[in-house]
Structures are given as structure tokens and as C-alpha cells.
A and B are shown apart, each in its own frame.
Chain A
Amino acid sequence: MPATTSLKTLVVSSAVLSMGGLSSAMASEGHTDDIVRIGVLTDMSGIYTDLSGEAAVTAVQMAVEDFGGEVNGVPIEVIHGDHRNRADTGASRAREWYDSEGVDMINDLSNSGVALAVAAVADEQQRHAIVNSSSNIGLTNDYCSPYVTHYTYDAHSLAHGTGKSIVEDGGDTWFFLTVDFAFGIGLEEQVSEVVREAGGQVVGAARHPLNTTDFSSYALQAQASGAEIIGIASTGADAINAINALAEFGVTPNQRPAALLLWYDDIVSLGLETAQGLMLTNAFYWDANDETREFSQRFYERTGRMPNMAQAGNYSSTMHYLNAIEAAGTDDAAAVSEKMRELEINDFFASGGYIRPNGRMVHDQYLWEVKSPDESQYDYDFLRLVNTIPGEEAFQPLEESTCHLLDND
């Protein structure tokens, strides 16, 4: 008697076990598991902590809270990890998240080496990755995937924002201070092309190693070049040091610096005194309109800082992803991918934004000028809108993309 009971229990329990996957899937109506898990893979401890870091995690959390904490009756969970600016660490964390922790989507991805590596894992594992804080255009070209979305900006939008506007404004001789990294050289090449197309001329370039502290030598070289515009193809501390040196050596009033990737946080760090007059292309500025102010105010209360474009992009892209799940009625990656490309994005971040088949989110970019200390009326009042660059102009034309998902030849 006891023997039969135990046998019966065994049979029943193994049946339950084998049904486990199926039954939970039925419970959540088409969800691969009982939870939608979003991983924020970011730089928590290195040089990009201000650009993404903990505030990026908060942005994603805010999106999840605003969405209501659950989608199609399934809870949404946010976890975070630190890629330490190492592509291998990033790739390994992404793999583990997708493989064994059931993460459905990874967001942020500062550092283009990390972004490319994670995109490769996402493509292989058929899960989503949304890149917000790095610029590598390879993500929507050779390395594109149906599961990878490049959301906020890219090298093309930077070049065609700042570069083009300045050439059109009459700045037609350029000298570049370029960080000797794939990112810097790529940006320099893109802008050079824009300049030449518009009839301008590139008179020279100096390529400096990453983390150069002293730019005085380059300031003199820039001065000697006689170029009207000094294009700064670097970011973070390098760009800041370059801008400081140009000002210190009196290059700046006569020759104009054009910082090709300057973040809102860099302006805070430079101070308006030095930064005034700089032009920069950013996809988002907290003080642009009532909607951006409303979001930014809430963000500020949570993090003590105003959001930059990547952090705003983290929020907006998470929201879009969740909307796509809701519309698809499932978190199945392929279905969600389809919905993400189908639905339009209309929020404080983008109006009429849409995702192309190669993963590029197309939305307007803005050229800003840094205000002078006198013009700045209140705290964080830093930027003045110069013009709006329509998304179609800012981003790479689809027919130029080398993405294998397109039939371009």
C-alpha cells in the first residue's frame, strides 16, 4: 500500500515537473516565463558612471513603475550589472543573464566595445538588446540583428548634426583633434565627409592617445593650422581637457571649437564660463518643453541630477519595449521585435519616432548652443536650441546600411 502511493506520487510529480514549463506559459498567456526581466548593463564604477551608471538603472525603473509594474498580468523586474568597460565582462554578464537568469531585454550599454559584444550575444540568443549610450554605427550595419535596437544617437547623427550645421553656417575649414580610437577616427571620417560634401575643406588632424591630459601641444597645432573650426572628436575627459586647452591658449575666440560628442554632464563639469558658445548635438535636453521638464523633475528628485540623452533614452526605450509586449500579447522576442518596429514612438523623448528594420530608431536630433553665464537664468539652465535636425537627415539613409536584414546590394 505505501509502495503504490509513493509510486503514484512519483508519477504525478514528474508529470507536473515536465508540464512545468508549459503550464506556467499558459498561466501567463503566451509569456515564455512568469516574469519580464530587464537587465541594465552599464558602467557602475568607471569613467562613464555619470553618463549612464546608477541613474540609467533609475531611468529604467521609472519606466517600469510608470508602466504599472506589470505587463499582460506578468510582473516586470529590473536587475543591473556592471560591465567595467570590458567587452568580455559585458558579454559574459549578458550571456549569463539571457542563458540562466531569464533576462528578456538588456538596456543602456555604454562603451561601444561592450555594446557590440552584447549585440552579438543578443543576436545569438535571440533576446533583445537596446543600445542607448554608445555611438558605434556598426550596430545597425555589419552587426545588425532583429533583436538589437540602437535608440538614442549614433556617430552618423553626431556628424550630420554638429558637422553639417556648422559648415552650413559658414565654418568651412576644419582641423580635428581626434582621440586615437576607432570611435574618434570614425567620427572624424564621417564629419570630414560631411564637410567636403558641403564644399568645405579639412586642413589637418592631430590624433592623440586616449586619456591625454595635456592638450597644449595640440592647441598650438590647431592654432597653426589656421582652420576656422576645431573639430573635437573625443568625449568625456579628453574633450573637456581639449576645450580647456583651446581656451587657455587663446585659440577659442578666433577659431571655433566644435565638440562632436559632448554630453550634458560634460557641460556641468566644464562650467559655463569655459563652455559658453560651444555647439553640440544631443537628442534630448531636460529643459526643452513641458513634457521633458516633467520627466526631468521626477528624475532629478530620484537621482539628484538632470537626465542626459542616454538616460532619457533608457526610459523611453524601456517604455517602448513594454508597449510592444503589451501589443503583441507575449514577450516572445521575435513577436516583440516585430511590434517594436511597427509601433510609433510618441513621448517626451521622441515624436513620430520609428525603428527601421536594421534596428535604428529614427527621431529628431537637436543642435544646441551652450549659454553664457549671463544668459543662464536658473540652475541647470545651460542650452539654447539652435535648430532641429529631422530624423531622416540625421541618421544614415537606409539604403547605405550594410545590414544583412535589408536587401541592399
Chain B
Amino acid sequence: MDIFGIPIQALLGQLMLGIVNGSFYAVLSLGLAIIFGVLKIVNFAHGAFFMLGAFTAFLLAQYMGANYWVTLAVAPLAVALFGMAFEFLFLRRLYGLDPIYGLLLTFSLVLVLEGGFRIAFGSSGQPFATPDLLRGTLNLGFMVLPLYRGFVIVSALLLCLATWFIIERTSLGASLRAATERAELTQAFGINVPRLITLTYGVGVGLAAFAGVLAAPIFHVNPSMGSSLVIIIFAVVVIGGLGSIMGAIVTGLGLGVVEGFTRVFYSEFSSTIVFLVMVLVLLLRPAGLFGREEG
């Protein structure tokens, strides 16, 4: 059976690959959405933190002989700490100003990080091996999926659900949500709001770095690997609805699939399709697919 001249088996394969890509988008846009929700800034350095995650993993493996699983745990933590230091030292000074200044500061950070890594490691990138355990393939009947890609889907989705659970179902998440809506009142209840904000930035950035480590074995580890990612990720967050955690996750997956099919039917347009979707969504549903309409 064919659809538009393409066998349905092949389409199922493309659907699967779309979900793999969507998993990256989901983790990345989740982090960006959390940061935007609490700090009210567009973290323009999100792609750079993604790159930083991949590079940290590479450095840990190369110079300290760390195995993949260690890097998967350590690299996001290290990057999160770096992000928290950045928030504490610099970003914090811009709260209360037009959010566009936060965008500018994080954009400057991108220049410093990407430029610095290019000086240190060159522009053409580094090889990163797939962990031995995840080499090989999985026969799904309609396609042969590399085992590692399957692992990406599973781990990304688990992480997304865990994050969602913490924010929506635990007391830590409750105070976070409270701080988002009424910072002063939350402070009055004895909750240390600035520390909560720092922590949030760390979590958001850590998620980006986690996606970076996940990407390292399949995408090429190089200083500009995250540079065009941030506007796509932000589009995903906006389509999902600003402030909606679940919206970011679901939209991430969905757009991965949409982009995947575009690669089959009109490949040239595949990096632009997300923007077409965004215009349509914003004009038809102003608050995004999952966002609450505000008065």
C-alpha cells in the first residue's frame, strides 16, 4: 500500500525517526519552557548548553576515560552547575528589566562559548563512539532501528515525565509554580525564591546538556552544533503554549514527526516547516496548542 507514492512501511519508518528527533526537541523545549516560565527570559544560550553537554561528555570520555553512563550522569550536572553560576553572577542582575536584556546577555554567552570551543577544539568536530551496550539494531518489522536511537526515545521520555511529575505533583514543584505566579507572596511564606530561580535555571540548562550527551554519538560533536537549534526550540515552546510543561513535551514530539515527514515530501522546506506551523497556530490559537488563554 502506498501513500503519495511512498510505501506505508517506509512511512512508518519515517514516523519512528520523527519520534526520535522529537525526543530531542521535547527534552530541549522542556528545559527552555521551564526557564521561560520562571525567569521570564528566552534563554538564547540553550543551544550552546546543548553543545556544552556534548563537549563535556567528549572531554570526560577522552581525558578521564569515563564510560558513557558516567558521562550521561556527570556532564548534565556539571553544565547545570555552570549555568547556575552564570545565573547567580550575571543573569540575576537583569531581573525586573525588559526580558529582552536577558535574551541579549544569554546571546553574548553563546558567542563566548561557541567562540571559545572553536579556539580550543577547532571547527570540524570530534568523533564520539556509541556505547558498546547499545550498538546493534532492533528489527521492528517495518524498519531496522539502531538500538541507540531506541534508547534515546526511552530515556528522553522518562526524563520528561520525571520532570513533569516533579513540577506538577510534588511540593517543590508547587512552590516553584507559586513563585512563578506570585514571587513576593511565596517569599513571604518563607520560601527562598532567588535560590529557587537559580535551581530552575540549573535544571533547564541541565536538560539541554542531557540532550547534548544523548546527541553526541549520533550527531557530530562540534562547536556550532546547537547554534541554529534555539529558534526552532523556542518555536516549539510557543506552539505548545508558553508556561505549559506538557505542551512543550507533546509539541516537541509532534514537531519531530512533522519535520520527519517534510523530509520525505518536501525536504528543502524541512527546517522551515516549524515556523509555518507556528504562524498558523498563533493566528488560530493565540495561546498555543496547550496554553491557557489569558484575559
- The answer to whether A and B touch in the complex, with CB atoms under 8 Å apart, is yes
Binding site for B on A (CB under 8 A): 45-51, 53, 180, 206-209, 211-214, 216-218, 220-221, 224, 236-237, 240-241, 244-245, 248-250, 263, 265-266, 268-271, 273-274
CB <8 Å contact, B124 and A236: yes
CB <8 Å contact, A269 and B220: yes
Please give, as numbers and ranges, the residues of chain A lying within 8 Å of B137 by CB-CB distance: 250
B21 at the interface (CB under 8 A from A): yes
Question: Contacts A207-B267, A214-B17, A220-B143 given; 17 further ones with Cβ under 8 A?
Answer: A46-B118, A47-B224, A206-B263, A208-B267, A209-B267, A216-B20, A220-B13, A237-B125, A237-B222, A237-B225, A240-B220, A248-B218, A250-B144, A269-B125, A270-B127, A273-B127, A274-B127
Q: Once bound together, how far apart are the Cα atoms of A273 and B217, in whole Å?
A: 13
**A47-B224, A209-B268, A220-B14 known; A214 and B123 CB under 8 Å?**
no
CB <8 Å contact, B118 and A45: yes
Contact of B225 among A213, A224, A271 (CB under 8 A): A213
8 Å CB interface, B228-278 against A:
228, 260, 263-264, 267-268, 270-272
B126 at the interface (CB under 8 A from A): yes
CB <8 Å contact, A50 and B123: yes
Binding site for A on B (CB under 8 A): 7, 10, 13-14, 17-18, 20-21, 115, 118, 122-127, 129-130, 137, 143-144, 146, 148-149, 215, 218-220, 222, 224-225, 228, 260, 263-264, 267-268, 270-272
Please give, as numbers and ranges, the residues of chain A lying within 8 Å of B260 by CB-CB distance: 217
Q: Once bound together, how far apart are the Cα atoms of A134 and B143, in whole Å?
A: 39
Please give, as numbers and ranges, the residues of chain A lying within 8 Å of B125 by CB-CB distance: 237, 240, 269
CB <8 Å contact, B127 and A217: no
Of B13, B144, B215, B220, most buried by chain A (CB within 10 Å of CB) is B220
- Interface CB pairs A-B, < 8 A, 28: A45-B115, A46-B123, A47-B224, A49-B122, A50-B123, A50-B124, A51-B123, A180-B268, A206-B267, A208-B263, A208-B268, A209-B268, A214-B218, A216-B21, A217-B14, A217-B260, A218-B263, A218-B267, A220-B14, A220-B143, A237-B125, A240-B124, A240-B125, A240-B220, A244-B218, A249-B146, A250-B137, A265-B124
CB distance from A275 to the nearest CB of B (A): 9
Q: Once bound together, how far apart are the Cα atoms of A358 and B214, in whole Å?
A: 50
Q: What residue in chain A is nearest B17 (Cβ atoms)?
A: A216
Please give, as numbers and ranges, the residues of chain A lying within 8 Å of B148 by CB-CB distance: 248
Q: Once bound together, how far apart are the Cα atoms of A263 and B123, in whole Å?
A: 13
- Provide the main secondary structure of the chain B interface: mixed
Please give, as numbers and ranges, the residues of chain B lying within 8 Å of A270 by CB-CB distance: 127
Of B124, B143, B148, most buried by chain A (CB within 10 Å of CB) is B124
Q: Once bound together, how far apart are the Cα atoms of A47 and B125, in whole Å?
A: 10
Please give, as numbers and ranges, the residues of chain B lying within 8 Å of A249 by CB-CB distance: 144, 146
Q: What residue in chain A is nearest B20 (Cβ atoms)?
A: A216
Q: Once bound together, how far apart are the Cα atoms of A151 and B264, in whole Å?
A: 38
Q: Once bound together, how far apart are the Cα atoms of A217 and B61, in whole Å?
A: 29
CB distance from A51 to the nearest CB of B (A): 8
CB <8 Å contact, B123 and A48: yes
Q: What residue in chain B is nearest A263 (Cβ atoms)?
A: B124
Q: Once bound together, how far apart are the Cα atoms of A383 and B196, in whole Å?
A: 55
CB distance from B266 to the nearest CB of A (A): 10
Please give, as numbers and ranges, the residues of chain B lying within 8 Å of A217 by CB-CB distance: 14, 17-18, 260, 263-264
Please give, as numbers and ranges, the residues of chain A lying within 8 Å of B118 by CB-CB distance: 45-46, 49
CB distance from B213 to the nearest CB of A (A): 15
CB <8 Å contact, A268 and B124: yes
Q: What residue in chain A is nearest B21 (Cβ atoms)?
A: A214
Please give me the 3 A-B residue pairs with the lowest Cβ-Cβ distance, nearest first.
A271-B127, A209-B271, A217-B263
**A214-B21, A216-B17, A216-B149 known; A208 and B270 CB under 8 Å?**
yes
Contact of B271 among A45, A212, A236, A266 (CB under 8 A): A212
Q: Once bound together, how far apart are the Cα atoms of A378 and B49, in whole Å?
A: 36
Q: Once bound together, how far apart are the Cα atoms of A93 and B225, in whole Å?
A: 28
Please give, as numbers and ranges, the residues of chain B lying within 8 Å of A220 by CB-CB distance: 10, 13-14, 17, 143
CB distance from B292 to the nearest CB of A (A): 33
